[in-house]
Amino acid sequence: EETHRQPFPSCCIASPVERSVQLQELLARPLALAIEQEQLELAYQPIIELESGRVIAAEVLCRWDDPVLGRQSPADFIDVAEATAQISSLGRWVMERALEALHRWDVAGLQLAKICVNVSPLQVQDPTWSSDLLMALERHQLTPGRIVLELTEGSILEMSNHVANQLRDLRRQGFELAMDDFGTGYSGLQRLTELPFSEVKIDRSLISAIDYDQLQQAMLSAVIRLSDATGIMVVVEGVERSRQRQMLLTLGCRHGQGYQLSAPLSDLELEALLQSQITPAA
Ligand code: C2E
Ligand code: MG
Ligand code: MG
Ligand code: MG
């Protein structure tokens, strides 16, 4: 199900820069139409407590299946949205739908503690973004502590002071902040201290061989010790094999996300999963 159509054959692509220009030319207008006509969809990938298997949160992932072009990868169309200034309207739509869903699940008595939303600094740059977010939160009767804002390690490198201050402000108001794709940039641990992160998501490349690679095991152990000392929660991304899951538990890693735990789900599928693990009130 989770396969994306390649927009053009790889023989046409000379360089990453050229590819991104071609993607823009091909996708910019159809994407604008898809946003306007609300043809995007959301998938929800559970974040799991490894010990118990319980869903502790869900990450919202944007999906676009264009009637003509086919299903597109978020890595591609989010890039295009950022390059063509459509990320604000796309991000606004994603946030609105995510908060609406969380409210609906609250009303239905489903117990989902948190929802995690990917955010581009370009959205935060928009002067009305954070006041709109606060209004949407109120409209859906949610508290800031229910929302995790995920920012990729790479995007933090390019962040302006204005954006960083907006995020600090939201953190003070109770929103959670997660550093996404940790370990993919050149930034190092120092980045973790620049914003008041409550969570770090370890990129799947750092745990791809965690079940047998001693260097990966040593690195993850160090990150877990660091996070225990600082109170920052660690979530490991891309858990694909049960042996990885076993080793993660052995290393003291408590939370994970990945195909072995659960693929990204439709809202109905997530609802069924949450329904199956409701604990009766004492
Ligand atoms: P991300 O935030 O790091 O999200 C996790 C990605 O890993 C998702 O890819 C998910 O489908 C994939 N994944 C989950 N489990 C596994 C696994 O076990 N193995 C492997 N190989 N992959 C796994 P997806 O949905 O293609 O999204 C790619 C990226 O696009 C996201 O990475 C995020 O950075 C961005 N993105 C997606 N939706 C949005 C959005 O609404 N707004 C923004 N700004 N970015 C978004
Ligand atoms: Mg993410
Ligand atoms: Mg990630
Ligand atoms: Mg990513």
Q: Over the chain (282 residues), what is each successive 10-residue block's mean pLDDT?
A: 65 75 94 96 98 97 96 96 96 98 97 97 94 97 98 86 95 97 77 88 96 96 91 97 97 97 98 90 63
Q: How far is the centre of ligand 3, averaged over its atoms, from the C-alpha of 152 (Å)?
A: 7
Best residue among 73, 120, 201, 237 to mutate for probing ligand 1, ranked by most atoms within 8 Å of CB: 237
Is-contact 252 224, C-beta < 8 A?
A: yes
Separation CA 74–CA 91 (nearest Å): 12
Q: What is the DSSP string of the chain?
A: ------SS-GGG---HHHHHHHHHHHHHHHHHHHHHTT-EEEEEEEEEETTT--EEEEEEEEEEEETTTEEE-HHHHHHHHHHTT-HHHHHHHHHHHHHHHHHHHHHTT----EEEEE--HHHHHSTTHHHHHHHHHHHTT--GGGEEEEEEHHHHHT--HHHHHHHHHHHHTT-EEEEEEETSSS--GGGGGTTT-SEEEE-GGGTTTTTT-HHHHHHHHHHHHHHHHHT-EEEE----SHHHHHHHHHTT--EE-BTTTB--B-HHHHHHHHHHTPPPP-
* CA-nearest residue, atom 8 of ligand 1: 61
Residue 156: what pLDDT?
84
Q: How far is the centre of ligand 4, averaged over its atoms, from the C-alpha of 63 (Å)?
A: 14
Best residue among 60, 64, 118 to mutate for probing ligand 1, ranked by most atoms within 8 Å of CB: 118
Residue 243: what pLDDT?
97
Percent of the chain exceeding pLDDT 90 equals 82
ipTM of the complex: 0.98
Q: Which ligand neighbours the alpha carbon of 155 most closely? A: 1
Closest CA to 5 of 79, 63, 70: 70
Residue 189: what pLDDT?
73
Q: How far is the centre of ligand 3, averaged over its atoms, from the C-alpha of 100 (Å)?
A: 23
Separation CA 40–CA 79 (nearest Å): 15
Q: Which ligand neighbours the alpha carbon of 61 most closely? A: 1
Predicted confidence (pLDDT) per residue in 57-116, tens digit: 999 999 999 999 999 999 999 999 999 999 999 999 999 999 999 999 999 999 999 999
Q: How far is the centre of ligand 4, averaged over its atoms, from the C-alpha of 112 (Å)?
A: 23
Best residue among 41, 78, 208 to mutate for probing ligand 1, ranked by most atoms within 8 Å of CB: 78
Asked whether the whole model's pTM tops 0.80, one would answer yes
Closest CA to 20 of 69, 78, 64: 78
Determine the atom of ligand 1 nearest the C-alpha atom of 119. Answer: 44
Predicted confidence (pLDDT) per residue in 138-161, tens digit: 999 999 999 999 999 888 888 899
Determine the atom of ligand 1 nearest the C-alpha atom of 257. Answer: 15
Q: How far is the centre of ligand 2, averaged over its atoms, from the C-alpha of 141 (Å)?
A: 24
